[in-house]
Amino acid sequence: MKQYTDIFLDFDDTLYDTHGNAVIALAETYEDFHLNRYFNDPQVFYEDYWKTNIDLWGRYSMGEITRDYLIVERFRHPLCVSEELRVKNEQSASAFKDYCLKISDVFLDYCSSKPGVIDGAHELMDYLRDKGYRLHMCSNGFHEVQYKKLKACGLSNHFDTIILSEDAGVNKPSPLFFEYALKESGANKASTIMIGDNFQTDILGAKNAGLDTIFFNHWPEYPATEPVTYEVKALKDIMNIL
């Protein structure tokens, strides 16, 4: 089996339970802003939020939209499902944007304070550290949020390097992100492997940059569309590879 010295790890939904924590945070935000005034059924808001959020993050990863656009539109769109809020947006888009930003700030604060991790995350990170691997976090997440999440979930001391797309100036899956990550970490491409849950962003991005990959496939609706070096269904299975 090939020997590796350095491991690039995605953070959100690979180690940190971003979706699970965000579900809780979104409900807390919904309550704080009394959005029940505008929606008879909160699921109408939640479902549109998640659909919009997934689409916007995909576009953000490809460099099609900015961070500022994402954090506003992922709330503007589901809020405007409400006829009353849609009219307010049409009457004053600027004021409604400010309203969306206030909601986003509260939501991100709630999200970044949550400690939830993917099952087996702490055990895997302890195992990899004990084996002597150099561990590098590679994330498209927002700078101020990711460090809070790391602290909240107790994984901040496990990484040798924190590599964020906002520092790199380009997002995964761009090969330029991985070139930046190799330079910042001092890792050798031939002895580095990338672990991630997003096939397009983490796995294809790393593969196209010439890296080996471990696809953590815990989203059945988003299967691999090309061969990968390794594929696992649970984090604990990575211990049988590395």
What pLDDT does 223 receive?
A: 85
Q: Which amino acid is at 60?
A: Y
Q: What is the DSSP letter of 12?
A: B
Read off the pTM.
Answer: 0.94
| CATH 3.40.50.1000 is right for the domain spanning 6-17+116-240 | yes
Identify the pLDDT of residue 1.
72
Q: Please state, in angstroms and rounded to a whole number, the distance separating the CA atoms of residues 116 and 6.
A: 25
Q: Which CATH architecture has domain 19-112?
A: Orthogonal Bundle (1.10)
User: 3-state class of 85 per DSSP?
Assistant: helix
Contacts of 83 by beta carbon, 8 Å cutoff, 6+ apart: none
| Rounded distance between C-alpha atoms, residue 34 and residue 170, angstroms | 37
Residue ranges of the chain whose pLDDT lies below 50: none
Kindly report, as residue ranges, where domains of CATH 3.40.50.1000 are found in the chain.
Answer: 6-17+116-240
pLDDT for position 219: 86
DSSP code per residue over 22-55: HHHHHHHHHHHTTGGGT-SSHHHHHHHHHHHHHH
Q: Where in the chain is the domain with CATH 1.10.150.240?
A: 19-112
Strand order in the sheet with 161-164: 161-164, 134-139, 6-9, 192-196, 212-216, 230-232
The whole-chain average pLDDT of the chain stands at: 96
Chain segment 113-162, per-residue pLDDT in tens: 999 999 999 999 999 999 999 999 999 999 989 999 999 999 999 999 99
